[in-house]
Amino acid sequence: MNGHLKRRPVLIPGQRPWLGFLLLAAVLVAVPFVAALGGQAWVRIANFSILYIFLALGLNIVVGYAGLLDLGYVAFYAVGAYTYALLASPHFGIHLPFWVILPLGAGLACIFGVLLGAPTLKLRGDYLAIVTLGFGEIVRIFMNNLNAPINVTNGAQGITLIDPIRIGDFSFAQTSTFLGVSFSGPQKYYFLLVALALLVIVVNMRLQDSRIGRAWQAIREDEVAAKACGINTRNIKLLAFAMGASFGGIAGGVFSAMQGFVSPESFSLMESITILAMVVLGGMGHIPGVILGAVLLTGLPEALRYGIEPLQRGLFGRMIIDPESLRMLIFGLALVLVMRFRPAGLWPSSQRRRELAESAD
Amino acid sequence: MSEKPLLLEAHEVAKHFGGVKALHDVSLTIRRGEIYGLIGPNGAGKTTFFNCLTGLYKNEGGYFIFDGVKLEADAPHKAAAVGIARTFQNIRLFGNMTAIENVMVGRHLRTHAGVFGAISRNPATRAEEGAIVRRAEELLHYVGIHERAHDYAKHLSYGDQRRLEIARALATEPKLLALDEPAAGMNGTETEALRVLVEGICRDGVTVLLIEHDVKLVMGLCERVAVLDYGEKICEDVPAVVQKDSRVIEAYLGGSVA
């Protein structure tokens, strides 16, 4: 069993793992309060980092485990988001509770995952990427144009006044006080997101080290040999799409509730690429790597957004370069540098590192 | 030579690639519990026959009856499910998985845990997972590479990779084990060890179909041998007879024997 234990990700290396976990828990609890010192905007950034961890780990199942390059992942995110928006907003006058809509959104996204997966089963690599890219765009364009003849999605204006997540009288949108500590809306969402992220991490870990996970890995390694071993590659690949998609659907629902507003703009191709970049940059198939990738790629652009202007003023006394363009430039440069010097990702699994090392020989 | 019951019947199996007839109405029968050799010069259609049998190719003519049932071998995993396991001429292991993981993948077919089992890790799944590991360890022992269980498949020596591929195939609990040139590239010692292993597998109740170039190995190991040449079966008999068949000699040496 050594091989299995070896592969389990270790979040904090050290002799006493419980100490590491305690430390990690303390940091996780402290984050929203420390972030709040800089304003609620920073809490929201932290929330988005965690939402992206969730999304990236969902995509990791498809790309990292099963090796299917999916450039349309955001479509499932959109399906989940719109499911929530339509069923919990004044748009149709329906206000279902979140615990009905989130599973529904996950299920719908799952169906969309199978819909995308079924025709693309024979495709691999770049061909698959093109088809999934097209699929992502189709979904977005539908959201954009499904306002006539019947107004379903309200087109480019999007849907507003979406209900926040509410448990009885306890709403995630307002500030409330527990045990003398005041929690703002975003701070409450933060803890909800952390709980969801922990769930997706456990699911990822357990799937990886299971019969299904091995089948995915076998397909990634050699599809013909996997078939000869009796793996029904069609079903197992569809399963990867469906699993990944349902996580996207849940993330979409939470996104909807947290923002109170969705529009097709949030589900552009750029979003798919960003999520894929998180997986690849962090370390494909390696849970801690993917988490790191998600946090960096959400945090870095924001840090640059807030950091560049003061930096330029401090250095030159005035603004020389428009912060927005400089931000994307630095971001892009960072991506290129990481891929040049750490092609297996920032924190790859030992396995992935080996694959790349030997293919470079 | 007692008449053992039939395990596999191939009836006029045909396959062409464009204008090339790779297999031309090949019929043969394999009996339960025997080691059956399929030989022939390069390009004679041996591997094509294998691929049709294991569902990797779809044969255009003819059919297979395996264990009394007509094979609907339109997909390799179905062939594996009815009990036909194979190895590949150019070894196809999951290189970045450990030896034991490779064999564990072979257990996929005979185990059932799904997504919910994997996520919940319920007692049934844990028990099954334990059984998979134990069986994989046994099989690695059986083929004699248990010391390399936690090495990555691609770091094994060539002979060990062949053995691992056989262990992985055995993990699917086959009735028929089809080996595609298992001795290719092996030295004399390795070939001899392979012979002992294949004999053992057959003794333990698995019928073996062996494609081989090493005529000496085939003649020493197989009970019956079929010879393919240009996609046609030119001979099928016990090794002693096949060796003396003029068409076989001609096919191997080229031209007529003066």
pLDDT band (50, 70, 90) for residue B210: very high
One domain for residues B71 and B151: no
Neighbouring CB atoms inside 10 A of A24's CB total 12
Of A99-113, A138-152, A202-216, give the lowest mean pLDDT range: A138-152
Q: What percent of chain A has pLDDT over 70?
A: 91
Cβ-contact B186, B162 below 8 angstroms? yes
The three-class DSSP label of residue A186 is helix
CA–CA distance from B32 to each of B3, B85, B209, B233 (Å)? 10, 15, 11, 21
The confidence score (pLDDT) of residue A12 equals 47
Q: Which residue has the higher pLDDT, A6 or A131?
A: A131
pLDDT band (50, 70, 90) for residue A109: very high
The mean pLDDT value for A127-148 works out to: 88
The three-state DSSP-derived secondary structure of chain B is CCCCCEEEEEEEEEEEECCEEEEEEEEEEEECCCEEEEECCCCCCHHHHHHHHCCCCCCCEEEEEECCEECCCCCHHHHHHHCEEECCCCCCCCCCCEHHHHHHHHHHHHCCCCHHHHHHCCHHHHHHHHHHHHHHHHHHHHHCCHHHCCCEHHHCCHHHHHHHHHHHHHCCCCCEEEEECCCCCCCHHHHHHHHHHHHHHHHCCCEEEEECCCHHHHHHHCCEEEEEECCEEEEEECHHHHHHCHHHHHHHHCCCCC
Q: What percent of chain A has pLDDT over 90?
A: 22
Q: Which residue has the higher pLDDT, A135 or B4?
A: A135
The three-class DSSP label of residue A354 is helix
pLDDT band (50, 70, 90) for residue A21: confident
One-letter amino acid at A215 equals A
Token pair recorded at residue A277: 């970049």
The rounded distance, in Å, linking the Cα atoms of B167 and B176 is 14
Angle at A292 between CA A289 and CA A294, to 5 degrees: 110
One domain for residues B123 and B188: no
Nearest to A229 among B96, B106, B121 (CB): B106
The mean pLDDT value for A251-255 works out to: 92
Nearest CA in chain A to B90: A225
The rounded distance, in Å, linking the Cα atoms of B158 and B186 is 8
Residue B116 maps to a domain: yes
Residue A246 maps to a domain: yes
CA–CA distance from A310 to each of A303, B8, B167 (Å)? 12, 79, 64
Sort strands B224-229 and B35-39 into parallel, antiparallel or unpaired: parallel
Nearest CA in chain B to A2: B150
The confidence score (pLDDT) of residue A212 equals 93
Cβ-contact A57, A201 below 8 angstroms? yes
The confidence score (pLDDT) of residue A358 equals 60
The mean pLDDT value for B28-44 works out to: 88
The confidence score (pLDDT) of residue B140 equals 93
Cβ-contact A349, B94 below 8 angstroms? no
| pLDDT tens figures, B71-80 | 876 788 888 9
Please state whether B43 falls in left (phi above 0), alpha (psi between -120 and 50) or beta: left
One domain for residues B52 and B7: yes
The mean pLDDT value for A37-61 works out to: 87
Residue B88 maps to a domain: no
Cβ-contact A275, A255 below 8 angstroms? no
The rounded distance, in Å, linking the Cα atoms of A78 and B9 is 54
| pLDDT tens figures, B126-149 | 999 999 999 999 999 999 998 988
One domain for residues B152 and B219: no
Residues of B (47-76) whose Cβ lies below 8 Å from A = 54, 56, 75-76
One domain for residues B111 and B179: no
Residue B18: which residues within 8 A CB-CB, separation 6 or more?
A: none
Cβ-contact A281, A234 below 8 angstroms? no
One domain for residues B64 and B163: no
Residue B121: which residues within 8 A CB-CB, separation 6 or more?
A: A206
Residue B26 maps to a domain: yes
The rounded distance, in Å, linking the Cα atoms of B88 and B178 is 9
Q: Which residue has the higher pLDDT, A237 or A348?
A: A237
Q: With beta carbons under 8 A apart, name residues in chain A contacting B168.
A: 229
Domain that holds residue A118: 2-6+28-268
Phi then psi for residue A169, to 5 deg, are -95, -5
Interchain contact A5–B (C-beta under 8 A):
no
The confidence score (pLDDT) of residue A308 equals 75
Q: With beta carbons under 8 A apart, name residues in chain A contacting B117.
A: 210-211
Residue B23 confidence (pLDDT) above 60: yes
The confidence score (pLDDT) of residue B214 equals 76
Q: Which residue has the higher pLDDT, B83 or B2?
A: B83
| pLDDT tens figures, A255-300 | 998 888 898 988 988 889 889 988 888 888 888 888 988 888 888 8
The confidence score (pLDDT) of residue B36 equals 92
One domain for residues B165 and B190: no
Domain that holds residue B7: 1-83+174-258
Cβ-contact A282, A291 below 8 angstroms? yes
The rounded distance, in Å, linking the Cα atoms of B192 and B194 is 5
Of A46-55, A161-170, B52-61, B133-142, give the lowest mean pLDDT range: A161-170
**Structural domain total, chain A:** 1
- A90: Cα within 13 Å, side-chain hemisphere: 3
The three-class DSSP label of residue A8 is coil
Residue A162 confidence (pLDDT) above 90: no
Q: Identify any residues that bridge with A262 across adjacent strands, giving them in sequence order.
A: A159
CA-CA-CA-CA dihedral for A11, A17, A21, A23, to nearest 10? -100
The rounded distance, in Å, linking the Cα atoms of A313 and A47 is 29
Token pair recorded at residue B107: 């257990």
The confidence score (pLDDT) of residue A6 equals 46
Residue among A61, A325, A94, A35 at smallest CA distance from A210: A61
| pLDDT tens figures, B191-205 | 889 999 999 999 999
Measured in angstroms, the CA of B106 and the nearest CA of chain A are apart by 5
Nearest to B111 among A211, A232, A243 (CB): A211
pLDDT band (50, 70, 90) for residue A359: low
Helix (H) or strand (E) holding A94: strand A94-95
Nearest CA in chain B to A202: B119
Q: With beta carbons under 8 A apart, name residues in chain A contacting B119.
A: 202-203, 206-207
Residue among B130, B210, B140 at smallest CA distance from B177: B210
Neighbouring CB atoms inside 10 A of B256's CB total 8
The rounded distance, in Å, linking the Cα atoms of B146 and B160 is 10
The confidence score (pLDDT) of residue A361 equals 46
Measured in angstroms, the CA of A317 and the nearest CA of chain B are apart by 55
Nearest CA in chain A to B100: A3
One domain for residues B159 and B182: no
What rounded mean pLDDT belongs to chain B?
87
Domain boundary among B105, B136, B171: B171
Residue among B221, B91, B217 at smallest CA distance from B164: B91
The mean pLDDT value for B25-32 works out to: 90
Angle at A44 between CA A54 and CA A28, to 5 degrees: 60
The confidence score (pLDDT) of residue B251 equals 79
The mean pLDDT value for A21-48 works out to: 82
Nearest to A3 among B94, B113, B150 (CB): B150
CA atoms B157, B159, B164, B165: torsion sign: positive
One domain for residues B18 and B51: yes
What b/e readout covers B145-167, taking b as 16+ CB neighbours within 10 angstroms?
A: bbebbebbbbebeebbbbbbbbb
The mean pLDDT value for B181-187 works out to: 86
Domain of B204, CATH number, reads 3.40.50.300
pLDDT band (50, 70, 90) for residue A4: very low
Query: Which residue is it, tokens 């991490």?
Result: A201
Residue A13 confidence (pLDDT) above 60: no
CA–CA distance from A337 to each of A71, A208, A321 (Å)? 22, 29, 22
Residue B237 confidence (pLDDT) above 70: yes
The confidence score (pLDDT) of residue B73 equals 64
Cβ-contact A227, B88 below 8 angstroms? no
The mean pLDDT value for A2-28 works out to: 63
Helix (H) or strand (E) holding A307: helix A287-316
pLDDT band (50, 70, 90) for residue B257: very low
Q: Which residue has the higher pLDDT, A2 or B236?
A: B236
The confidence score (pLDDT) of residue B161 equals 92
Q: What percent of chain B has pLDDT over 70?
A: 96
Residue A2 confidence (pLDDT) above 50: no
Q: Do A226 and B93 touch (CB under 8 A)?
A: no
The confidence score (pLDDT) of residue A334 equals 80
Cβ-contact B14, B62 below 8 angstroms? yes
Q: Which residue has the higher pLDDT, A54 or B243?
A: A54
Q: How many CB pairs under 8 A join A and B?
A: 114
Measured in angstroms, the CA of B203 and the nearest CA of chain A are apart by 23
Q: With beta carbons under 8 A apart, name residues in chain A contacting B75.
A: 227, 232
Residue A79 maps to a domain: yes
**Structural domain total, chain B:** 2
The mean pLDDT value for A141-169 works out to: 82
Residue B4 maps to a domain: yes
The rounded distance, in Å, linking the Cα atoms of A295 and A108 is 27
Domain boundary among B171, B192, B209: B171
Query: Which residue is it, tokens 């519990």?
Result: B33
The confidence score (pLDDT) of residue B99 equals 93
The mean pLDDT value for B83-98 works out to: 91
Domain boundary among B139, B171, B203: B171
The rounded distance, in Å, linking the Cα atoms of B38 and B40 is 7
